[in-house]
Structure 1
């Protein structure tokens, strides 16, 4: 074999090895709930969180919003959910970041700041949550007759 072929094979093997290593490292990031995250056991640890946007304070860099855990299908949010302050320091703020949007975030919880510092933010397809206004258990309760 010629030297060029050997170099190409070595470069290809290095690229594949690097991609596999990166995938394994990124795949090791675990999902946590907001109550787990704020329990101080995960301060500074890189994690992923799925949440529902409660309110947006700032859509510009850094974007700031509050979020709660996504209620299970068919259930409303608890009356007093754990609210997470989120500061998004990533590149592009999704244009559909708004109240009731479901988001997947990656980053670290900073206990000193009392906020989740997100470096990756992805909103779900709007059709998944269009028309589903955020309600708490108190709002769902019907008045007694």
Structure 2
């Protein structure tokens, strides 16, 4: 008997990436420099996209936000609050790729974390709003 596990598929992830880029451009204009990453359950990259003019830092940060959300199994805003109040010590985890800045959201289905979305390039609140919307498209 084979056991199957739901995953964030490539087609859905790419559609979410394109949707996020289009939403950001519509809301913030043509010069919007946004990057969107979707990762699978182990933090592996499933899909990525960025506006043409976005620099290297937001590209890297989007991936790190998604990676953090999936590994910590919570939004990066929730992770930041846990760090701020001492419930989470990132140094003890020993992973320099973890980044607790709003804009990373886990993708859940039936209680399981299937992956995560990371958005970077706008304000933290705007990155987070786009990530939350993209998660809704993926579930």
Give the TM-score, by structure 1 length: 0.28
Q: Report 1 or 2 for greater relative contact order, CA contacts < 8 Å, sequence distance ≥ 6.
A: 2
- Find the structure with the greater CA-based Rg: 1
Give the helix-richer structure, 1 or 2: 2
TM-score by length of 2: 0.29
More strand by percentage: 1
